[in-house]
Amino acid sequence: MSLYPDAPGHRNVDTSVAAAIALAPKLGRLQMMALEAIKGAGWLGLTADELAAALEMDRWSIQPRTTELRRKGLIRDSGQRRPNTTGKLAIVWTAA
């Protein structure tokens, strides 16, 4: 059995566990899509909102992949910040 970040995280609540189980078969593909988009952005990087827009996906589906990829050492916080859709500053991710 894989562990986070190679398996989706959950909060030990039945609905969260069910969502993690449903996502598990797609996790590798989603992580690869996110990583390739971030690599493609080069030094400019992407925020989670920008990543979701680039992949034409819901932010809530793709943002957790940034945490997983960071834990794997594949992306890093660039130190840059840009406003997200709510106007708050967001981390800009770049390839490690």
pLDDT tens for 18-70 read 887 887 778 799 999 999 999 999 999 999 999 999 999 999 999 999 999 99
pLDDT value of residue 22: 83
| Residue 5 lies inside a defined structural domain of this protein | no
| Residue 14 lies inside a defined structural domain of this protein | no
| Dihedral sign, Cα of residue 81, residue 59, residue 77, residue 18 | positive
Pair 23, 8: CB distance under 8 Å = yes
Q: Provide the residue range defining the domain that includes 49.
A: 28-95
Q: How much of the chain is in helix, strand and coil states, percent to nearest 5? A: 55, 20, 30
Among 37, 92, 35, smallest CA distance to 68 is for 35
Q: What count of residues does the chain have?
A: 96
Structural domain count, the chain: 1
How many of the other CB atoms lie within 10 Å of CB of 23? 16
- Segments in 1-96 forming alpha helices (H): 14-23, 27-40, 48-55, 59-71
| Residue 32 lies inside a defined structural domain of this protein | yes
pLDDT value of residue 1: 59
Average pLDDT over residues 64-92: 97
| Residue 12 lies inside a defined structural domain of this protein | no
Interior CA angle at 39 toward 7 and 63, to 5°?
A: 40
Q: What is this structure's pTM?
A: 0.88
pLDDT value of residue 84: 95
| Residue 41 lies inside a defined structural domain of this protein | yes
